[in-house]
Amino acid sequence: MEVDPKVPSNERNRIKLTKPRIAATAIAAAVAVGGAATAFAAGPDQAPETPVTPLTPAANADLGKYKRVYSEAEKYGIAPKRNLARVAPASPDIGERAAVLKVHVVGERGRRKVREELKPEFGTPESLGVSQGTLDSIASCESGGDPTAVDASGTYYGKYQFDTGTWASVGGSGSPAAASEAEQDYRAALLYSRAGSSPWPVCGS
């Protein structure tokens, strides 16, 4: 930059010295801005990823047990909301949690087995659209409500005084008087649903 000759000499020297300083300051600022942009692109406090430590054979076995018992618990609807196999597979107490959950699963399995064994073998009269009260009224008249009753002639058996042919027609076998009361109720209801009260002309009226 040319300095006006009319400017005093001491002022001309000051201007000449200032120009390099301004240029140096601009360069330093540009470098600083560039460095900041580079740091920003790299991300704040960026750290290298920590390698995942593989599970020991024992821990892996515990994890496998937990997964299996958790799956079974889900089938019974008793699984915990927090699945450790997903949220904390390396948890040191996952083996203990698996054992505790197994206790609950075994208990639920046992309860369901008992309920299944106690389930009635035959449906109720109401399941066939017949009132138990209606059947009780017939049975009271026919046999006094005794499931083991046999008439004097040896022709009619049980609570509803079935003959063997009628009993067989509704799926019964053997002597009606030897069948359980639940089976007699069910087969009487089945007969009633098909033929109404006509099989018991006296007591069904």
Would you list the DSSP string of 101-137? HHHHHHHHHHHHHHHHHHS-SS--GGGGT--HHHHHH
Q: Hey, what CATH topology would domain 127-195 get?
A: Lysozyme (1.10.530)
- C-alpha distance across the termini of the chain, in Å: 131
Per-domain residue ranges for the chain? 1-41, 57-118, 127-195
Cα–Cα distance, 67 to 83 (Å, whole number): 9
Q: What is the pLDDT of residue 115?
A: 77
- Provide the token pair at 205: 């009226």
Tell me if 170 sits within 8 A of 187, measured CB to CB.
yes
Residues 6 or more apart whose Cβ sits within 8 Å of residue 80: 70, 73, 101
Burial degree of 104 (CB within 10 A; 0-12, 13-18, 19+)? middle
Q: What is the pLDDT of residue 32?
A: 45
Per-residue pLDDT of the chain (205 residues; tens, 9 = 90+): 454 555 455 554 454 444 445 444 444 444 444 444 444 344 445 555 556 678 899 999 999 999 999 999 999 999 999 999 999 999 999 999 999 999 999 999 999 888 776 666 788 899 999 999 999 999 999 999 999 999 999 999 999 999 999 999 999 999 999 999 999 999 999 999 999 999 999 998 7
Cα–Cα distance, 185 to 5 (Å, whole number): 131
pTM, whole model, 2 decimals?
0.46
Would you list the DSSP string of 19-60? HHHHHHHHHHHHHHHHHHHHHHHH-TT--PPPPPPPPPHHHH
- Provide the token pair at 58: 């024992």
Q: What is the pLDDT of residue 121?
A: 79
Q: What is the pLDDT of residue 9?
A: 53
Rg (the chain; Cα; Å): 47
Cα–Cα distance, 195 to 184 (Å, whole number): 16
Q: What is the pLDDT of residue 116?
A: 73
Q: What is the pLDDT of residue 175?
A: 96
